[in-house]
Structure 1
Amino acid sequence: MANLIADSIVASCPIKSPADKFFKFFRYSMNEIVKIFPAAFTGVQLLEGEEGTVGCIKRWNYIVGGIPLTATVKIEAIDEAAKSITFAVLEGDLLLLYKSFQATLTVSEGLAKWTFVFEKATLLTPPPELYIPLAVTLCTLVDAFLLLN
C-alpha cells in the first residue's frame, strides 16, 4: 500500500472577544464547552495531567453529522506568544478513518482559526469536512459566551 501523506483543512471564524480571553478559555476552561454547546458536546472527562498543560489528556463525547462519537485527546503543544494550542487524537472514532488527526487552534485579534491535520487511512477516506461547521459554530458560541461573561 502506498504511503499517504498528511493533509489539512482550515476553519476560520471572526471573534469579537479579546484574543487573550478566547485563547485562555480553550486552554483552561474547555470543559465549559459541554454547557455552551450541548447539542454537539455531550461529555468530557479528564484522564491524565493538569488542565491547560501540555500532556493533559481528556476523553470527549461529541456528535458530528448526527453520529455520537468519542475521542481521547492530548494537548501536544501550547504557544502562549502565538496564542495557539495543538491537540492530538490518541484514540477514538476518528482514528477509524484517519491514521492520525491533529487540531491546532490559533487565536488573533478578531479571528479564531482551527487547522486540522490528518492522514487518511485509505485513499477513499474523505477529508473531515464535517468538522469545519462544528469548529465555526463552537467558536461563535464560545465568543458569544465570553462577551456575556
Structure 2
Amino acid sequence: MALYGKLETEVKINASAKKFHEILHQRPHHMSNICSDKIQSVELHESEWGKADTILNWRIILDGRVHKAKKVIEDVDEEKNSFTWRVVEGDLLELYKSFKIKVQCIPKDEGSVIHFTLEYEKLHEGIPDSHTLLQLCAEVTKDIEAHLMGNNNDV
C-alpha cells in the first residue's frame, strides 16, 4: 500500500464556473449559510479573503464529527478559476503528513465542471484513502450549485 495518495472527482453543475469559484475561493465564509450541515464555519485567520497565502480556519462535519482544519491558500489562478488549499493544522494531520485540495472550475457550454484533486501523504499504511472527504467536496458542490441557481447570490 502506498503512502502517497491522489483522489480526483468531477462534478457537473448548471451554475457558472466564475460564480462557483467566487464563492468557494473568495467568499468561503458564506458556505456555513449555504451548507450548514457540512460546513460549520470558515473564518479568516490571517491576510485577506481570496488572496494567496491567506490562512483560513475551517470547521467541517465529516463522518458525523466536527473536524477542524487550518488551510493556506496557494497556487491561485484567477484566469483558470483554480486554487489550492494546503492543510497546515488540524484533525487531518493526525492521519496525514501532508494534505492538499486543488479545485478548478471549468466553464462549459452549459454550466461548468468542478474538478477536485486531493493529494496527500499518509503517516502509515493503515490509514485509508480519504474517499469521505472527496464525497464531501462533491456534496458541497451540489449545495453551492443549488444556492447559485436559486439566485441567492447576496449571501
CA RMSD of aligned residues (A): 1.2
Match of 1:48 in 2: 46
SS at match of 1:27: helix
Match of 2:145 in 1: 143
SS at match of 2:148: helix
Query: What is the CA–CA distance in structure 2 between the aligned matches of 1:97 and 1:12, rounded to whole Å?
Result: 25
- Runs of 4+ in structure 1 deviating by more than 2 angstroms, as ranges, are none
Match of 1:96 in 2: 94
Confirm or deny: 8 A CA contact 2:4 2:122 kept in the other structure. Answer: yes
1:106 paired with 2:104, answer: yes
Query: What is the CA–CA distance in structure 2 between the aligned matches of 1:105 and 1:138, rounded to whole Å?
Result: 13
- Compute the displacement of 1:5 (Å): 5.1
Match of 1:22 in 2: 20
Match of 1:129 in 2: 131
Match of 2:33 in 1: 35
- TM score, norm. by length of structure 2: 0.90
Given residue 101 of structure 2, which amino acid in structure 1 is its aligned partner?
A
Confirm or deny: 8 A CA contact 2:3 2:124 kept in the other structure. Answer: no
Match of 1:80 in 2: 78
SS at match of 2:129: coil
SS at match of 2:103: strand
Structure 1 gaps, min length 5:
none
Across the two proteins, how many residue pairs are aligned to each other? 146
Query: What is the CA–CA distance in structure 2 between the aligned matches of 1:11 and 1:41, rounded to whole Å?
Result: 19
Query: What is the CA–CA distance in structure 2 between the aligned matches of 1:60 and 1:69, rounded to whole Å?
Result: 8
Query: What is the CA–CA distance in structure 1 between the aligned matches of 2:75 and 2:12, rounded to whole Å?
Result: 23
- Compute the displacement of 1:81 (Å): 2.0
SS at match of 1:35: helix
- Compute the displacement of 1:95 (Å): 0.2
Query: What is the CA–CA distance in structure 1 between the aligned matches of 2:82 and 2:47, rounded to whole Å?
Result: 19
- Compute the displacement of 1:45 (Å): 1.7
